[in-house]
Every structure is written in structure tokens, then in C-alpha cells.
Chain A
Amino acid sequence: MNRLKQAVTDFGWPRIIIFLFVVALFIGAPFVKVRVDSSFTDVFNRFGQNAVLVLALVPMVQAGCGLNFGLPVGIIAGLLGSTLAMEFGLVGWAGFLGAIGLSLPFAVAFGFAYGLLLNKVKGEEMTIAMYVGFSIVTFFAILWLLLPYSSPNMVWGYAGKGLRTTITLEGYWGLILNDFLALRIGENFRFPTGMILFVILLTVLVGFFFRSKTGTAMTAVGSNPDFARAGGVSADRMRLTSVILSTVIGAVGILVYQQSFGFIQIYNAPLFMAFPAVAALLIGGASVNKASMLNVIVGTFLFQSILTMTPSVINSILQTDMSEVIRILISNGMILYALTRKTKVTK
């Protein structure tokens, strides 16, 4: 009994409540005539769409840099990759892989600069990361208008310059992962096999990385910097590596998101993209200084289930649209809980 109590406290009441809430949503769905199979299709789609962005947060949490509210730094690198790939006229797999390839150098460079900055401001990473993210998004909003993009599918029709706020990926690489080996069961259920496989592949890769020598050293820096230093690990270098890794995965993450969503969203769209990802990771059981692959998978699944199911289920029960309020309360409530929790590994 005591052990159960301990397990419950470790896991945290908010998570248990959220978990029960999700279960209740799925059980309640058929009673209010919401189709469970099409709901599951949505949940899987949105899971794959967002999982990589959540995964991008893990390296920095593990290295002790806190929750990466500066995820937009990576997202911007991804946006550069996909817009350049479109500009060069790459389509299909060449387009998607080309976009990843083109975004990598930017992600590494941005991550490097961002990591150097975060190394100088230890202890204040999260607030600064947030404002670095805001700055880079608004700064790039200027560049989207000024850079000499010319593909007629991307620029404003009448001016002939300046990127549109949303750019459709139809005819390029929209849904390319989702449709790869997609399984159709019955009328309404469709499993985005390719995207889920891609997510699993990345998760396994990152998982293996954390078993490697570098990965272990990174975790050591995060959980006990003095101990790591005594073991001959340079904390600054490990933190820098983690930030670069986080930024690179973030860039890939937005590309996966785009191909599933079908559009590239630029200008102010990435401003607040870090917050739902952070909430998902925390719902999955991560804390400010500890996160695992399991946290990513469970958290994204739970959070996306809530986002998918509340509009349909809660709205049919209450007859009003409360999903937005529920989303705000759950995601930010979870982040607040994690930030105010006295963690066992206190710094």
C-alpha cells in the first residue's frame, strides 16, 4: 500500500487525473455518437505529427538545460529547409528528404549559437530560451518578406514577392509519410504507418544515443554537474551538444508536422509552438530535469487524445465549445505543476 502511494506521488496526481480523463473521453465517445474509429485515426495522425517536436525537447532536459521553450529556433531551421526545397522545385521523397538535408546546416549553426548563449546564462535558461525563440520568429518574419523567393506556389500572387502566410505542400511532399504503407481498416480508420514508423525510428535512434558514451555523459551533466566534471566530462560541451541535437530534431520535427498538416505555416505561426510540446512531454511523466523516450510517446499520445476528443465529446455533452478552455487549462496547468514541483534532484 505504501509502495502504491509512493508510486502515485512520484507519478503525480495531475497526470493520473489527465489519464483518467482521456480514458473517460474514449469510453464516453460512443454514447454521444462520436465515431471511435475516426477519432483514433485523428489521434494517430496528430500523434505522429507532434511526437518528433516533443522528442526534440529531451536532450536539453537530460543535459540540465531545462524545458526548451526556444524550440522555435529549430522550427525556423526546418522552415528554411522546406521553403528552400520548394524553391528548388524538389517534389515527393526528394522534396521531403531534401528539406531535411537543407535544414540541417541551419539547425546545426543556429543550435551552436543558441547553445553558446545558453551556456553563458546557466540557471536562467528557460526564460531566456523563450525570448530567444520569440526574437528569432519575429526576426525571420522580416526575412520571409525580404528573401528573394520566387516560386509562384509560395509567393504572394499580386506582388510576386514575399512568402504567403500558409504555403500548401500539395504537389510537393504533403502527406508523403502519412500515405507510405498506410493501412485502411473499414470505412473510417486509417493508420499513418509511414509517419509512425518514422517517429519510432527517430525515438529509437535518440534512445540509443542516450545509451552511448556521449549520451551517458550528457545525462551525467544534467543530473550532477560536479560529479560529471570529476569524471572528466566538460559540462559546457555536453550542454552545447544537447542544444544542437535539440535544435536539429526540432527542425526535423516541424518537417514531419508540415507534411502531415499539408501546409507550411510561417510568420508568427511558430511563436507559441513550443508550449504544447512542453506540455505533452510533462504529461508523459517527465520533469524539468528528467525525460525519457517513454515520456515522449505516452505524453504525446495522451495530450493529442485530449485535443482530438474534447471538441467532439465534451461539446456534445455540454452543448457548447469548451475545448479551447480545457486545452489551455490542461497544458499550462501541467507546465505550472512541473515548474513548482520540488524535484528530487534539486539544483
Chain B
Amino acid sequence: MSKTFDPRKFLADNLVVVIFLVVTAFAVPVSGLSAQFIIQELFTRIGRNAFLVFSLLLPIMAGMGINFGMVLGAMAGEIGLIIAVDWGILGVNGLAFASLVGMPIAVFLGWIAGEVLNRAKGREMVTGYILGFFMDGVYQLVVLYMMGYIIPIRSPAITLSRGYGIRNTLGLDSVRQSLDNLLAVRIGPYVLPLATYMVIGLLCVFIIWFRRTKLGQDMRAIGQDQGVSHSAGISVERTRIIAIMISTVLAMIGQIIFLQNMGNMATYNAHKQTGFFAAAALLVGGASVSKATIPNVFIGVVLLHLMYIVMPRAGAQLFGEAQIGEFFRDALSYAAIAMALVIYAWRKRANAERARAGLRGGEAAAGGVK
């Protein structure tokens, strides 16, 4: 086998990345934003978003596609933050406390999600998406009706005037950017949230280590072939549930990191776009539905957010309307997800057909084995 460079194959493998690169390369100069502003924004956004995107890696490894059900973890993180704000725990301690509160919720929700997805093999992605919608209803039920009623909330500042339910916007002053500022380093004109980066780095180490464990190997085996893994004695369903549980817990922590950087929380809307942004970032970074690596995460976050930073200004410069740029970046991100899904499905089918053809030929050759 020669390893010659095949431009067509390269393009097919990286179509989404190439399109994004071309569009962004065009939009950056048009926007007229200064390089310093863009780079500072990117440093901030890597810290804000990378952790959330990482939560998608394990389910992809286990062959479950993109875990759109990660929003369940985001909701768990938000509940943790609400309690932390209510108890008035300040700074990084508040974030740690929020994660501690969110942990059992995320584990429980992850377990439910895993069980549900096990019943929907072959259509995990759409099921995970709808599960996110469903749990949004449960989240509203808990946060809007039970908090301050069944679940004690002490601070009247965060409850609605009727006495129960959390306000639409939750100010996170007590924990705002506490992780980012814990170890903020100034390099030239830029400020780097080093502590946040260290947390993300730790996660990378965890993922690299986890891939080598028995459990990680099992997940990869299941991602390759469920039937063979089952015959090899791997408990397929249990491993899939664990993959989703870890993903949900990571999304919980990721959402807390995201929100401490934002400094405000739209109580009932903060998680609605989480899955979309994480999935778009990962796929724009060159990942596919069946294979995603750590570099994919970073490339994706940089590319996607570069586009989100420059596009409104580019739209304003080109058409006199920032809104066009905003619609355009949404359209392009949705299209990126659609395209990545199409390429994946296309390949899967081609492989299946090749396997079937091989089986026919193989059967004839083996002469009636099986």
C-alpha cells in the first residue's frame, strides 16, 4: 500500500473544515476587527467552551454518535450553581460546591440517558436530542415550581416574587470568573485564564489515560463492532451506559466552567444551545461521528468561534446589516453538522455494502462454513 496524497480523499475527509477555513479566511479581513481583539476573544472562548466539547468524545468512541443528550449534564451543572449561589459560597469554592451538588444529579441523569439510548440502538443521536427536550421540561418543573417550595431556597434575591421558582436571570456575581481569575497570566497585551486551561489540560490527560484502561479499550471495541465485543465478553449495554454517564458528568463540569466565565445564567435557556455549539465545534474541528480526537476539539473551538466573532461585523460591513452575518453563521454551523452527519452515513452505507459483497464472496470461498 502506497501512502500517496490523494487530494480527493483529503477533501472528502476534511470537507467541513475546508469550507469553514475558506469562509472564515474571507470574513476576518472584511470584518475589520483588530487581530488583538480577535486573539483575546479566542483565548477566552477556548477556556469557556473546550471542556463542554470534550464531553462528547467518549460516546463517539463507544460508537454512539454525538451525544446530544449532553444537555442533561448542563442542566445538572446549572442546578449545582443555583444551590451554590443560594448558599452564598464564594469564588472557586462555590464552583467546587456546585460541581459536588451537580455530580449525583449528573450521574443519575447519565444513567437514565444511557438506559434510554440502549433502547434506541441505531438512532441514538435523534433520541438523545429529544431526550434533551424532554428533560428540559423536567428541569423547568424542578427549577420553576419545586425550588422554594419542595426544595428549600433561602435567598429571596434569586426567587421569583411569587415566593417559589428561580428568576429568569441568575446573577453569578459570587463565582463570576473565579476560575479564570484564579491564575490569570498577562502575556503582552493578552490575558490568559491559566487555571481554566489547567483544568482542561487535566481533562486531556484523563482522556488519554482513560483510552488505555480496560474500560476505554472496551468502549473502542464496542465502537468498532457490538456483536464481536459481545462475543468477546464485554458487557455492551453496561459500557455504553458508563460512556454516557461520564459524558454527562463532564458536560456538568463544562457548563459550570462556561457559566462562571459568562457571569450570568439565563436560568431556563442557558442549556438550550449547549449541545448545538459543542457538536458544531467538534465537527468543524474535523471530527466525524465515529472518530474524534483531542486536536479536533481545539481546532474546532478556534474555528467555530473565530467565525462567531467575526461574522456579525462582516455581515454589517458587506450588507449593512449585522443580522445577516448572525443568520449566516447559524446556517453554516447547522449545515456543518448536517454535512458531517451525511458524510458519516454515506461511508457507513458504503462500508456495509462492501462488507456484504465480501461476505458473499467469502461464503463461496469458504464453501459452506456457517
Which positions in A face B, CB cutoff 8 Å?
Answer: 69, 117, 120-124, 126-128, 130-132, 134-135, 138-139, 141-142, 145-146, 162, 267, 275, 320, 322, 324-325, 328-329, 332-333, 335-336, 339-342, 347
Contacts and interface: CB of A to CB of B under 8 A. Distances in A.
Interface of B: 65, 116, 119-120, 122-123, 125-127, 129-131, 133-134, 136-138, 140-141, 144-145, 319, 321, 323-324, 327-328, 330-331, 334-335, 337-338, 341-342, 344-346, 348-349
B129 A128 contact: no
A154 B136 CA distance: 35
Given A123-B349, A141-B331, A332 B145 contact: no
B344 A124 contact: yes
A131 B283 CA distance: 13
Contacts of A340: 116, 119-120, 127
Contact of A131 (B127, B144, B338): B338
Contact of B140 (A117, A124, A325): A325
Given A128-B338, A139-B335, A145 B323 contact: yes
A124 B341 contact: yes
B330 A138 contact: yes
Given A126-B126, A340-B120, A135 B349 contact: no
A329 B137 contact: yes
A130 B129 CA distance: 10
Nearest to A329: B137
B141 A325 contact: yes
B137 A120 contact: no
Instruction: Kindly list the 7 A-B residue pairs having the minimum CB-CB distance in the complex, ordered from nearest.
Output: A328-B137, A121-B345, A131-B338, A124-B345, A138-B331, A332-B134, A340-B119
A328 B136 contact: yes
Contacts of B116: 336, 340
A131 to B, nearest CB: 4
B133 A328 contact: yes
Given A127-B341, A131-B338, A135-B331, A336 B349 contact: no
A128 B133 CA distance: 17
A138 B327 contact: yes
A336 B134 contact: yes
A267 B327 CA distance: 9
10 contacts: A120-B342, A127-B65, A145-B321, A146-B319, A332-B137, A336-B116, A336-B130, A339-B126, A339-B130, A340-B116
Contact of A134 (B125, B334, B346): B334
B282 to A, nearest CB: 14
A117 B338 CA distance: 11
Given A127-B126, A145-B321, A145-B327, A328 B338 contact: no
Contact of A335 (B65, B130, B328): B130
- Which of B130, B134, B342, B349: most chain A CB closer than 10 A? B130
Nearest to B132: A332
A324 B140 contact: yes
A121 B324 contact: no
Nearest to A126: B126
Contacts of B321: 145, 162
A243 B346 CA distance: 19
A333 B127 CA distance: 11
A339 B349 contact: no
Contacts of A123: 122, 345, 348-349
Contacts of B122: 123, 347
B345 A336 contact: no
Contacts of B331: 135, 138-139, 141-142
